[in-house]
Every structure is written in structure tokens, then in C-alpha cells.
Amino acid sequence: MGARRPKVVVVGLGPAGAELVPEAGRTALESAARAFLRTTRHPAVAGLPGRPESFDDLYESAPGYDDLYAEMAERLVEAAVEAAAGGGFVAYAVPGSPYVAERSVAALRADGRVEVEIVAAPSFLDLAWDRLGVDPLVASVRLVDAHAFATDAAGQRGPLLVGHCHSRAVLSEVKLAVEDPGETTVTVLHHLGLPDEEIREVPWDDLDRIVEPDHLTSLWIPVLASPVAADLVRLEELVRVLRARCPWDSTQTHGSLARHLLEESYEALDAIETLSAAEPDPPAAAVAHLEEELGDLLFQVVIHSVLAAEEGRFTLADVARVVHDKLVARHPHVFGDVEAHTPEQVAERWEQLKKTEKGRASVTEGIPDALPALALAAKLQRKAESVSMSRSDVAERRRRLEEGVRRLDALPEDRSGETLDASAGEIEAVGQLLFDVADVARRAGIDPETALRGHALRFRRALEDAERTG
């Protein structure tokens, strides 16, 4: 049996005054080598034994909540290691219950360097159910963090109990997440279990106007007129109805829909190019056109997700979660401690992360051979740079382009009907020239596929004008 790990005893302070702090928690705080508070902003703190140290300073210095809770856990582990050397342990007191909405405790329990013992206590939930007269199991209540209300409550009409409503800014985010609240009222639960306890109903639109919230404020939403994030939920439900009732939609498969996805992608691309050409002040019609085409593209994503859900494979929520988590993992310079100060550094890091993540032997794996040739060339050139493959300088590119033009001039003047008879060398010469042109365009910040398509479309219009006037 190995040596016993350093120990942290986590004490719940309950949701209100010192009378709700468990006696075992008081004992732990008194006998610990060192005692800590997550925050002094709790009504039970004044009645605690000793003078526990607090982490209030971290709320001012930590750049975000993830960093905040990670740093708390790290300090507690370090203190527990020191205490263990003298045969003692560390106590850590948190508001409410250590099991409810305590991310610092979750971080601590996930750290294998310490043993974590929990002294449970009531949470604000217990008082809320009592005051509301609600059995949460019977009512199927959904618990939601106000900071993630728009995503965690998506598709929900209620009942919802919303915690962490500590500021008017947070209440504004909750309010604005519901597009059509109708005549919805919400019950504000404030300072439950304290002498100044307040429970009152307010109109939805006044939520961030007449409520003065703090860290002991929560919301009870029995029912909403429309679900949170209603439009996306409505679209998914519409697709399910179409799958059940429409003769065309009901027969579609991933394979049969493939060409529609490609067509909608190109139509969205056309709309983007139209709008971009009119920047910085595009007409309303161009904006509306892009909105419509993106909607058509979104429909393709939703119907593929509904098909997969019918097959028991994945859902639209899974698609959103996967891309969310992938973007977080691919941006360690935003969500981690990696530094990247230029777009080039970001792109190079992205490619290396992608290669490692997917277990690929080459950064070229996963690039479809069926991409349009110019787009394929530009993508391969970007991949080459991501692995620091040598780049030719300006003089070398100019020399190669001039050589390519000379070789092109040496080809027969008119063999347009006999292209299949061109030699391998002639084909390679033209291919090299186009490849180099694509590289020049890409390095100038111009997508070669877009540039060629735009020119081809302008030529098409000129040709059509010539036919009309000829």
C-alpha cells in the first residue's frame, strides 16, 4: 500500500446563516492545519471558527473562471502537501453544498495528488423547493447556470431554476436569450433563509431593470411562452415533420442529399461574393440574399443531423458540441497558455494540432482529391507552409512564371480540338504554370478559385452581351 495522499476536507457552508453549517464542518475548520474560504461573501462566514484565508483576491486577478478555479485547486493542493508533512490536513469552505455548482471542488476532486473528503450541507436548492412548494423530480425541473442560459436552456420552455444570477448584466443575458417571452413572469428568489429574504414575481421585460441581484439570487421560471433559442429548435422540429410527412424529404439519404449540399454551398459562395463586391456598404438585397442562402445551407446541416439521429448515430446537438470542442482545442492561444501573435502562427499551429489530433502521417491527409484544381493547389500550398516546407522567394517565382509562359508560347497555336494528344511534358508545363499562378495569388491574399470564377463570370456576361448585340 502506497503512502497516504495529502488531504483536503471540503466543507459546505449551507445557503444562508451560520446555523445551517454542519457541526462536522465546524470541527474540520477548527482542527485543520490551514483553513480556506472560496469567498468571504457569504452570510455564514462571520460565525465560523478561526480566521480562514480567502480566495477573494483571485476574483480580481484571474482572467476567466476556468483559470480562477484551476488556481484555487492548485493553491489548495500546495497547502495540503505542506500540511501533510506535519501530519495535518487542509479545510476548504464553500457556499451552499460542495456538490452543487462548485467548479473549484470539481477541479479539486479531479486532481489525483490529494484525497478529498466532503462534509455535505444544504444548498440553495433545498430552500428554493421549500419556498416554491415544488417537487423537482415530479415537475421535471431543469437546473441552469445563468452564465450559460442561452445554450444550456436551448429548446426548453420550463420549468427552469436558474442559479448564479449575481449581476444585472447576467440577468440581461438571460432576458435577451428568449426572443418572444410573451406575458411571461419570473419569480426572483433573493437571500433565501436570511432575515431579508425576498420572493417576488416580476415581468420578464423588467428582469434586469427592477431587480438588484447578488450572489444569493436565483430565478424560478415555471413556463416560457416560447422555448429558449426557439428558431433553431423550430427548424429542427420542422425537418422532423418533413421527414415524417413529405414524400420527397422522407425518401432522402445522406447520399441522395450530397449534391444538394454542394449546390447550396456554391449558391452561398455566390451570395458572399456579391456582398463582398459591394462592401463596405452592400445593398439590403445583397444582405438578404446571403441570409437566405446561409439558411438553405443550414437546412442541409440540420437534415443530415436529423437523418443521423433517426439512425441512432448522432444529433444536431452532438454536431454543435463536437465543433465547439474542436474549436476550443484548436485555439490554445485563446483558451490555453500557448502564444500566437500572427495569423500565420495560428495557421501553423492549427495544422500541427489537426495532424496530431487525427493521428495523420501527413498534413495532406483529409484533403479531397475532388476539390477544384486551383482550390486544391492553394490548399496544398498552405499545408506546405504549415510544416515549414521551403518557399521560393519573389525572384524565383518570377523566373518560374516567365519560364512557364515561354513553354506555353512554344505549344502549337491551335490544337484545341486535339488536347488529348498533348504530350505529358506539355501538360506538366501548363500544370506547373497554373500551380505557380495559384501560389502567387494565394500569397497576395487572393483566393485563386474565387478570382478565376469571378473573371469567368464576367467573361460570361460579356459573351452574352456580345450575342445580344451581334
Cell digits of residue 345? 502562427
Domains plus CATH for the chain? Answer: 7-122 (3.40.1010.10), 127-221 (3.30.950.10), 230-329 (1.10.287.1080), 390-469 (no CATH)
Give the amino acid at 212.
E
**Among the residues of 330-372, which ranges form H helices?**
332-335, 343-357
Rounded Cα distance between 149 and 164, Å, is: 10
C-alpha cell at 82: 505542506
Give the integer Cα–Cα distance in Å for 169 and 146: 10
pLDDT confidence of residue 220: 96
Question: What pLDDT score does 1 carry?
Answer: 46
Q: Measuring CA to CA, how many Å separate 283 from each of 33, 141, 279, 290?
A: 69, 47, 9, 11
**What digits encode the pLDDT tens for the residues 15-58?**
888 888 889 989 998 899 999 999 888 888 888 887 888 888 88
Going by C-alpha positions, the residue among 58, 76, 95, 85 that lies closest to residue 9 is: 76
Please count the CA atoms within 13 angstroms of the CA of 407 that sit on its side-chain side. Answer: 17
Calculate the alpha carbon distances from 93 to 26, 108, 165, 433 in Å. Answer: 10, 13, 21, 70
What is the DSSP code string of 389-455?
-----HHHHHHHHHHHHHHHHTS-S--GGGGGG--HHHHHHHHHHHHHHHHHHHHTT--HHHHHHHH
Give me the sheet containing 142-145, strands edge to edge: 142-145, 160-163, 217-221, 185-190, 198-203
DSSP E strands: which ranges in 174-313? 185-190, 198-203, 217-221
Q: Report the distance separating Cα 49 and Cα 161, nearest Å.
A: 33
What grid cell was written down for 27? 470541527
pLDDT digits (tens), the chain, 470 positions: 456 889 999 999 888 888 888 899 899 988 999 999 998 888 888 888 878 888 888 887 777 777 888 888 999 999 999 999 889 999 999 998 999 888 889 989 988 898 999 998 989 999 999 999 999 999 999 999 998 888 788 778 889 999 989 888 889 888 888 877 888 899 999 999 889 999 999 998 888 888 889 889 999 999 887 776 767 777 888 898 999 999 999 999 999 998 899 889 889 988 998 898 888 899 999 999 999 999 999 999 999 999 998 998 988 878 888 888 888 888 888 888 788 788 777 777 776 776 676 666 666 776 776 667 777 777 777 767 666 555 556 567 677 777 777 877 777 665 555 544 567 777 787 788 888 888 877 777 787 777 777 777 777 777 777 877 86
Q: Kindly report the pTM of this predicted structure.
A: 0.56
